[in-house]
Amino acid sequence: MKILFLNRFFYPDHSATSQMLSDLAFFLSNYGHEVNVITSRLRYADPKDQLPAFEQINGVSVHRVWTSRFGRYFLPGRAFDYFTFYLSAAWRLWRLAENETIVIAKTDPPLISVVARFVVAIRKSQLVNWLQDLFPEVAIALRVRGFEGWFGRWLIKVRNYSLNHAEMNVVIGERMRDKLISEGVAPDKIQVIHNWADGKAIRPVRSEELGVMSKQEKSEGDTLRKEWGLERNFVVGYSGNLGRAHEFKTIIDAAGKLNKEKDNVFLFIGGGAQVELVKEEGRKRSLDNLMFKPYQPREMLNQSLGLPDVHLVALRPEMEGLIVPSKFYGIAAAGKPTLFVGDAEGEIANIINRHQMGVAIQTGDSDYLARTIQELKNDTEKTKALGEKAREVFEKNFDMDIALEKWEEVLKELSNEG
């Protein structure tokens, strides 16, 4: 089977979409398939860092096309980065796609499914769209100028046309599936495969009862906690992108209510469009219980996810059905409870409540968030039980091996149909 992926970032880039794509591409290559990736020469965090135009990595042929390099923080430049990728990627796709090639298009840049649809139709290949978010609905929800009127509605129609003319559309949540069906996408062309984490690389630390890790590994799990001076603290962690889709006022308000509790620390590991705003808000309020650290290398992910006692996941309620925070799966793999701040009846909230692996807090209810943090700090047995349940649910539903096998089944069925 010849498989060709289309996405703006790929290994060794550390962004979430890149990591998911890399996991799947390497898995399929090891399975014996011919795997190619069309991607950019950029890194998500540093557009000035150029990667080689072509590489062979773990059996995967990586074709990195030229794009402009304005980066993600300057919106007009970001749009031009997208445009140049559309052109370069379409040309490379035309050259590489063959009859019966399965082309898997992700959603970075937005609407790449539209570009892929026309090239694939001419080349008589098969198109699978892997939707990590729904655009332009995300832009409309964030009130990005120009998308709220007729133009946004027109883009949705064009996007859905490309989805209905694909062989399959893989979405990462039930709410996203329901959203697309309500917009007219055929239900039989939608498959839900949740994002994942690697349960072998990310494992519970600092928990003798689980019996998963050696004493040496448990000691290594505390390395960052000691290095950052957090041995005596109850750590509430936030790991990953602090983007526009995430709501932080509820979290900052809760931190303000707990500021006098000197053993509480809110630890933010990562970056994104809102990180400076969160830092500034902390300075304005003289919050001493906030700590910020940069993204950690992927090989350190087990330690960085294992450090907090509980983890925060935040999503604006209007983003439900449009985005599913992928950080949730790594948290569950680490055997830690999730405090979800968003729609208390949303995708992640329902999983948490159904399996009793954390607590869902409605956006704006900082009092409940602060009380929950205090309760879990004072009840170590409950905190541990929630974490153990999270790992149990992860192993049954969200481990990488489970998701990759589902992908193999989808592609095998398409190949047989072709």
On whether both 412 and 337 belong to a single domain, the answer is no
Q: Would you say residue 237 lies in a domain?
A: yes
> What span, in angstroms and rounded, lies between the C-alpha atoms of 1 and 29?
10
Q: How many domains does the chain have?
A: 2
The encoded tokens of residue 90 equal 């379409």
Asked if residue 59 belongs to a domain, the reply is: yes
Q: At 378, which CATH number?
A: 3.40.50.2000
Task: Tell whether 191 and 242 lie within a shared domain.
Answer: no
Is the same domain home to 58 and 145?
Answer: yes
Tens digits of residue pLDDT in 281-317: 999 999 999 999 998 887 888 999 999 999 999 999 9
Query: Under DSSP, is residue 372 helix (H, G, I), strand (E, B) or coil?
Result: helix
Q: Which H or E run contains 141?
A: helix 137-141
Does residue 301 belong to any structural domain of this protein? yes
Dihedral angle sign, alpha carbons of residues 380, 383, 389, 390: negative
d(C-alpha 130, C-alpha 3), whole Å: 13
Pair 390, 413 in one domain: no
| 50 located within any domain | yes
Q: What is the DSSP letter of 118?
A: H
pLDDT by residue for the chain (418 residues), tens only, comes to 999 999 999 999 878 889 999 999 999 999 999 999 999 998 887 777 889 999 999 999 999 999 998 877 667 788 899 999 999 999 999 999 998 899 999 999 999 999 999 999 999 999 999 999 999 999 999 999 889 899 999 999 999 999 999 999 999 999 999 999 999 999 999 999 999 999 999 999 754 433 334 444 444 457 788 999 999 999 999 999 899 999 999 999 999 999 998 899 999 999 888 999 999 999 999 999 999 999 888 788 899 999 999 999 999 999 999 999 999 999 999 999 999 999 999 999 999 999 999 999 999 999 999 999 999 999 999 999 999 999 999 999 999 999 999 999 999 999 876 5
Helices (H), 260-379: 275-284, 301-306, 327-333, 347-355, 366-378
Asked whether the whole model's pTM tops 0.85, one would answer yes
Pairing of strands 102-105, 168-171: unpaired
Burial label for 75, CB within 10 Å (0-12, 13-18, 19+), is: exposed
Domain match, 409 and 334 both: no
Residues 173 and 271 in one domain: no
**Is the distance from CB of 259 to CB of 342 less than 8 angstroms?**
no
Inside any domain, residue 103: yes
Decide the pairing of beta strands 60-65 and 54-57.
antiparallel
**214 lies in the same domain as 317:** yes
Cα separation of 19 and 227, whole Å? Answer: 27
Residue closest to 358 by CA, chosen among 385, 377, 319: 385
Question: How far is it, in rounded angstroms, from Cα 140 to Cα 336?
Answer: 33
Domain that holds residue 14: 2-196+399-417
Which residues are 5's β-sheet partners? 37, 104
Query: What is the structure's pLDDT at 16?
Result: 83
Q: Residue count of the chain, please give it.
A: 418
Domain-embedded: residue 403: yes
Give SS3 for 66.
coil
Q: Has residue 202 been placed in a domain?
A: no
Residues 244 and 146 in one domain: no
Angle between the 366-378 and 249-257 helix axes, to the nearest 10 degrees? 50
**Pair (233, 370) in one structural domain:** yes
Three-state DSSP state, 195 = coil
Other Cβ atoms less than 10 A from the Cβ of 289: the count is: 19
Q: What is the strand order of the sheet 264-271 is part of?
A: 290-293, 264-271, 234-241, 310-314, 338-342, 358-362
Residues 195 and 403: beta-carbon distance below 8 Å: yes
> Does residue 17 fall inside a structural domain?
yes
Q: How is residue 301 annotated by DSSP? A: H
* CA 175 distance to own-chain centroid: 16
Residue-level pLDDT at 418: 54
Determine which helix (DSSP H) or strand (DSSP E) holds 117, and give its type and residue range. Answer: helix 112-123
Q: Do 240 and 161 belong to one domain?
A: no
Same domain, 111 and 221: no
- The DSSP-derived string for 204-240 is --S-GGG--S-HHHHHHHTHHHHHTT-TTSEEEEEEE
Crossing angle (nearest 10°) for helices 275-284 and 249-257: 30
Based on the domain organization, do 161 and 227 belong to the same domain? no
CA distances from 331 to 254, 309, 328, 375 (A): 21, 11, 5, 20
The structure tokens 């604006």 sit at 316
Q: How many CA atoms lie within 13 A of 36 on its CB side?
A: 19
pLDDT for res 224: 85
- Sole residue written with tokens 């989805």: 163
